[in-house]
Structure 1
Amino acid sequence: MMAIYTKTGDKGKTSLFDGARVRKDDLRVETYGTFDECNAQISVAEKYCQLSQNKKLLKQIEYKMFFLQGEIATQDTDKFYGKSQRIEAEDIQLLEHVIDDYTTKLPKVTSFILPGQSLAGAQLHVCRTLCRRAERRLIQLGDTITFRPEIEQYVNRLSDLMYILARAEDHEAQQEKIVDEVVKRYMKAIESN
């Protein structure tokens, strides 16, 4: 049996993707760690979603987040690019397509909304806020490290996506509630006749 602990972090240091050792409170570690936290919450959201297309999309995003975190967790990016996929323009375009599609289908929003009327919607708003926090860490880290523009664009679209998916899940839950109420009233009317 292989142990999951290595004891190499017992003195407050950790290894980056390329093997470089840094303190566990290094801003780079804080940044990819915050994206890791966001990804774990995306996994929870996926389990709550009612819309199958949202579940499928969130599962895809979970894998993309590994590539995002890997690139952030690498000082020597030459070692990363040869060993892993990375976020590309088509990944950003996919998020934009979904956002645009839902925006045209959902009712127009004219005021602030409460963060989640359904369990899935509430969890997706948790993802949105975590993604925004991770983005703030990325911007802060970007003061000393240059990232490919695709990284920052993807992260910015990702929080927008979480918002629109939350709205879609809330809308679906509201529609189901209306249908349930109509059926309940119909059955009651039949029973009273």
Structure 2
Amino acid sequence: MKNRLTKIYTKNGDKGKTSLSGKERLYKTDKIIECIGAIDELNSAIGLILINDNLSEKIKKTLDKVQHQLFDIGGELSQPNYKAISSNDISQLENELDSYNNKLPHLKEFILPRGTSSTAYCHLARSICRRTERRAWDLIKNSNDKISEDIPKYLNRLSDLLFVLARAIIKDEGNLETFWNPKLKK
């Protein structure tokens, strides 16, 4: 493999612009740059989940695959005519989600986004994922670029998967979820 990043700083972004493959320089506040940045932030949050040595191998494998797919999505957004995520990837994510969810008790109430560090990181990644999905839909709605709707659909399923993984992890660790206690029920 050739060296892709031999020099980390170039100073080319010092005036608030950056470039994507095959495109003119864009402002760093451009919707596509914002979306790619949100995907990067999401990927980093998923990395926080993975620092837990007690995660099951299945969860580690699932999240590892997701991290690679998020890089693929960034590549798809960065390069014209590059398609990395498809409806098949979404279906695979749904199958993973169902596999975990089928082993969990049904929810009768909302749960609070807390618990152990791993479950809290799952909820953090989930909320970042939801924001990233909104950015992707905004990009599709307000951009002249042809952006695949498979990207925000994938992100939607991923946020659901992260919610279910938070529940699976807390169960695996032998802890209990904290249910929301609505003010009206007090």
Shorter-normalised TM range: 0.7 to 0.9
Matched, 1:57 2:62: yes
Alignment deviations for residues 15-66 of structure 1 (CA, whole Å, 9 cap, x no partner): 1133431011111111110110000111111222621111111111111101
RMSD: 1.8
In structure 1, C-alpha distance between the alignment counterparts of 2:148 and 2:16, rounded to whole Å: 29
Matched, 1:71 2:69: no
One-letter identity of the residue aligned with 2:174: Q
Matched residue, 1:143: 141
Matched residue, 1:134: 132
Matched, 1:159 2:164: no
Matched residue, 2:179: none
**1:20 maps to which of 12, 24, 33:** 24
The secondary structure found in structure 1 opposite 2:141 is coil
Alignment deviations for residues 115-157 of structure 1 (CA, whole Å, 9 cap, x no partner): 1322111101110000001111111111123422321211110
Higher helix proportion (structure 1 or 2): 1
In structure 1, C-alpha distance between the alignment counterparts of 2:62 and 2:12, rounded to whole Å: 36
Alignment deviations for residues 132-183 of structure 1 (CA, whole Å, 9 cap, x no partner): 011111111111234223212111101001000111001111269xxxxxxx
Residues 44, 17 of structure 1: CA spacing in aligned structure 2 closer, same or farther, 3 A cutoff?
farther
- Whether the 8 Å CA contact 2:113–2:120 is kept in 1: the answer is yes
Task: Could you tell me which runs of 5 or more consecutive residues in structure 2 were left unpaired when the two chains were aligned.
Answer: 1-5, 177-186
In structure 1, C-alpha distance between the alignment counterparts of 2:151 and 2:47, rounded to whole Å: 21
What does 1:79-90 correspond to in 2, within 5 Å? 81=82, 86-90=84-88
One-letter identity of the residue aligned with 1:54: I
Alpha-carbon offset, residue 99 of structure 1 = 1.2
Matched, 1:46 2:50: yes
In structure 2, C-alpha distance between the alignment counterparts of 1:7 and 1:109, rounded to whole Å: 51
What does 1:173-184 correspond to in 2, within 5 Å? 173-174=173-174
The secondary structure found in structure 1 opposite 2:26 is strand
Structure whose CA Rg is larger: 1
In structure 2, C-alpha distance between the alignment counterparts of 1:69 and 1:56, rounded to whole Å: 20
One-letter identity of the residue aligned with 1:70: G
Matched residue, 2:120: 122
The secondary structure found in structure 1 opposite 2:171 is helix
Query: Number of matched residues?
Result: 168
Matched residue, 2:183: none
Task: Could you tell me which runs of 5 or more consecutive residues in structure 1 were left unpaired when the two chains were aligned.
Answer: 177-193
What does 1:106-117 correspond to in 2, within 5 Å? 106-117=104-115
